Amino acid sequence: MSKLIISPSPHVHGEFSTRRLMRDVIIALFPALLAAFYFFGLDAVKVVCISIISCVVFEYLIQRFLLETAPSVNDLSAVVTGLILSFNLPSNLPWWLVVIGSLIAIGVGKMVFGGLGSNPFNPALVGRVFLLIARPVEMTTWPLPSMLVTPDAVTGATPLAIIKEGLKNGLTIDEIKATSDYTFGYLDTLFGQIGGSLGEVSAIALLLGFAYLLVRKVITWHIPITIFLSVVLFSGTLHLINPDKFIDPVFHLLTGGMILGAVYMATDYVTSPMTHKGMIVYGAGIGLLTILIRIFGSYPEGMSFAILFMNAIVPLINKYMKPKLFGEIK
């Protein structure tokens, strides 16, 4: 007779594993990945591959030779970091910048804190913001999706940058819309006919992935939906006060990596709060900060900074937003 296992309860385990959760995130990003390949062609394939491979390789090397621990690339978390980092980059970024971004994301964003689970900031965003600050020109020269390319325009600004630039020149929103080459149609932003990072352009593909993540119970609705609500509330109020200076909330929702950030980056387990109450505070903060930066800051886009800023506040949120004890005596 074989030996029986003697261990404490529970004796069965659920369906979740770190690897499965990471694999689901990768599957959820697939529609957006296909959209990126479709709009930006081979350039996008190149950036995505370089980013994923260098993230995995850097994680392996650091664990193996610097930390001398068993490499855990099998859990697929480095693949997710690489994929999300590449989604945040313009598709025409030189390959060596992608490699440096990956090194910063994995090395500084993740491994210096002790690897998966210990990092206070979203690694992919650490990589992205590093590149944005170090090489602002390359990072904000957006190639236009292939169908918008004309002989004299292969690169262009993002819709948010066009608005920012126009407002600086003293134009009203309507004047900017009228004078710009860009159509400002919502259908275009929904399907991806805009300039931008390679993963952010197709809102519909990203939302498809969101539905998948919800169905598979990888994430809950709390963070993304509160971000959207807070953005709509805040930018909507401003729009109602002065529609000439503040563009409508739908535009804010569909541009600037809002959906990519809210669904795939703000929800990063490690760097988001532990309770649903906390998640709502965190989401509301991200929405508010994003709009503040977009409208009043010097950068046209604020999602990355807002998420990183709120990441820093997460320990504080966890401290005050505790779950309510069953039968707590007041």
Q: Which residues contact other proteins (rule: CB under 8 A)?
A: 1-2, 4-14, 16-18, 20-21, 72, 75, 77, 115-118, 220, 269-270, 272-276, 322-329
Which is closer to other proteins, CB of 42 or CB of 325? 325
DSSP per-residue codes, 49-93:
HHHHHHHHHHHHHIIIIIS-S---GGG-HHHHHHHHHHHTS-TT-
Distance CA 275, CA 280 (A): 9
Contact present, 113 and 103 (Cβ < 8 Å): no
Q: What is the closest distance, in whole angstroms, from the C-beta atom of residue 272 to other proteins in the complex?
A: 8
Q: What is the closest distance, in whole angstroms, from the C-beta atom of residue 1 to other proteins in the complex?
A: 8
* Residue 26, CA distances (Å) to 76, 101, 136, 175, 277 in order: 9, 20, 28, 41, 27
Q: What is the closest distance, in whole angstroms, from the C-beta atom of residue 329 to other proteins in the complex?
A: 5
Q: What is the closest distance, in whole angstroms, from the C-beta atom of residue 72 to other proteins in the complex?
A: 7
Beta-ladder partners of 153: 150
Which is closer to other proteins, CB of 38 or CB of 113? 113
Written as one letter, the residue type at 237 is T
DSSP per-residue codes, 244-259:
TTS--HHHHHHSTTHH
Which is closer to other proteins, CB of 115 or CB of 236? 115
Q: What is the closest distance, in whole angstroms, from the C-beta atom of residue 122 to other proteins in the complex?
A: 12
* Residue 57, CA distances (Å) to 82, 106, 248 in order: 10, 10, 43
Which is closer to other proteins, CB of 205 or CB of 263? 263
Distance CA 174, CA 152 (A): 25
Q: What is the CA radius of gyration of the chain?
A: 21
Written as one letter, the residue type at 104 is I
Q: What is the closest distance, in whole angstroms, from the C-beta atom of residue 220 to other proteins in the complex?
A: 8
Which is closer to other proteins, CB of 15 or CB of 152? 15
